[in-house]
Structure 1
């Protein structure tokens, strides 16, 4: 955890500041050799002046990134098996670089749409950074096909869209106008679609986060074409949980010192409670793993050996305590016409690397 800032932001600014923490942590992990990401530097102002983060943060960032990458790549691979392109919607995306990493990777042709949604203050800064960076803007398409919108809070291109919204508002007001308007809505209900929530739902009330998942569930269920429907809906949630023990209370108090509260963690006091996030909305599959479990059993042993050589880590017990309070939960909602699907979407997930 990061120490309290000398000038602590308040309200939504405190929540937005957590994106800066995540971006700096990723930048540090890249510079130390844990990860490869040439696109994070243009999104961090004065990146060359930022200090490296401690090994505990670098390792946590690495485990989180590796697991999320495997899940997303698995979703893209299943879409290829299905013979269709897919959509990804990243909510509370912040400074994430995933679109550009996919756009320069082997699965680039599998992506029909990539949509990011966040606070307008976040999207405005990101849109400006994208326009200023040749590395980022050149991958969006022809210059004439890329344009800003909504007073600079949005950016549109043939595949990638950056949109502004307050996700705490009712989805009929926040999501529907962005994703379902027009003769050809940005969000096509007949394509496999993956929702990504990285440390965003935990900052919202359970009622608000539940409304978002229910809105997507209803949209895909109620708008499936009568024939050949392949609109599988998937989701990944990464966030802290089980904050009632002594270590969890320390985490909560550290965040409170920065004016950040975690109302979304209350319904998930145990590991066993995590899958209910999706099951309560009628989803077919829901699984979860802590970062501690992922590091131990789901990262290739050769990779663990490689990163162990990057820097010394003395606080193994503290690392495992931190990783045990963060989890990745994923779920799948199959369309009614499951018999027409070619890929085994219900098997989507992380692959164990150790017996």
Structure 2
């Protein structure tokens, strides 16, 4: 159990606001044709008036999104191979639209439940957007029940819960396990953590992951995907830390080469710290997050390596025609400070099929090794 949570008053708002940056980046990438996401516009106020983001942001958003989509789709297919439907839990989900994209895609039948958890302020905004949009609410089915003063929402397959993930999960996540439990311990379950653990103290994120691991230890299969920045101790990483406007890191780093070159208004605009990045000075250290907690297996790749060796060449060729990109070196420098790590926690009887889960290097690029 964690010690009494520290006082976070005054520190939550900057973290919550990083979701706005992510939503604007996703909107820009979808509008310009990098991604297909007809739902993100419903979560961005005055979406049609929002300017497009620079190419570095659009490409980074593309690589991040298609990679996590690949891992999620694999998870659903492997669950089907085991004769089961799966459940997905997105921690710090913000304005993410993955549920709606899955529910209207070819993997729809393989999904049992999709659960999202975030700060109450963020879940209230999302619940309001869902109720306001027929495009979103019709996909949820009926009945749709808004609860807890508008901060929670439940439907047959989609659940939205408010929680501060930094607090003791036995308390903050209790609603996921109360009867009837929205979280089924017997189903293959995938956790998605996109830029959320990095804002937490290491002991807080470890406690959170251990809670889920314990919940599924006896009967379930648990997979976890983490996307975040790492290696912030080098000169380029220090620029990212000084910026403290994480969602706009790609944009600012186009012109900034040192913390002294960063716009002072940016560093003062957000008081965001990244304590969760401290234990991970390199991408090779990232799997230790899972292995030290007793996960069966774990692996990490930088976005730079994923773009180079794991994205289909046809897709790279397609997006290269969308916008002119001159800053290839800058793009590589940014992408090598972001990584996707995936880990599996299995019982001995669950091996076999699940060992297939993970990113697969494209054959056309095998000679690069």
- Shorter-chain-normalised TM-score: which range? over 0.9
Q: How many residues align?
A: 333
Q: In 2, distance between residues paired with 1:314 and 1:270?
A: 27
Q: In 1, distance between residues paired with 2:348 and 2:205?
A: 24
Which runs of structure 2 are paired with 1:69-88 in the superposition (5 Å)?
69-88=69-88
Cross-structure match for 1:228: none
Which of 232, 237, 245 aligns to 2:234? It is 245
Deviation at 1:336, TM superposition (A): 4.2
Give TM-score scaled by structure 1 length: 0.92
Cross-structure match for 2:281: 269
Report if the CA contact (8 A) 1:10-1:259 is conserved: no
Cross-structure match for 2:339: 327
Q: In 2, distance between residues paired with 1:347 and 1:206?
A: 29
Pair 1:204 & 2:200 matched: yes
Deviation at 1:10, TM superposition (A): 5.3
Cross-structure match for 1:284: 296
Which of 280, 288, 303 aligns to 2:315? It is 303
Structure 1 unaligned segments of length 5 or more: list them.
Answer: 1-8, 225-230
- Name the SS of the counterpart of 2:73 in structure 1: helix
C-alpha RMSD of the superposition: 1.2
Deviation at 1:337, TM superposition (A): 2.7
Cross-structure match for 1:92: 92
Which runs of structure 2 are paired with 1:159-238 in the superposition (5 Å)?
159-175=157-173, 177-182=174-179, 184-222=180-218, 224=219, 231-238=220-227
Moved runs in structure 1, 4+ residues, more than 4 A? none
Q: In 2, distance between residues paired with 1:221 and 1:73?
A: 23
Q: In 1, distance between residues paired with 2:23 and 2:75?
A: 24
Pair 1:346 & 2:369 matched: no
Q: In 2, distance between residues paired with 1:178 and 1:273?
A: 33
Q: In 2, distance between residues paired with 1:202 and 1:35?
A: 25
Which of 302, 313, 327 aligns to 1:315? It is 327
Cross-structure match for 2:68: 68
Give TM-score scaled by structure 2 length: 0.89
Deviation at 1:335, TM superposition (A): 2.3
Report if the CA contact (8 A) 1:232-1:334 is conserved: yes
Structure 2 unaligned segments of length 5 or more: list them.
Answer: 1-8, 245-266
Cross-structure match for 1:260: 272
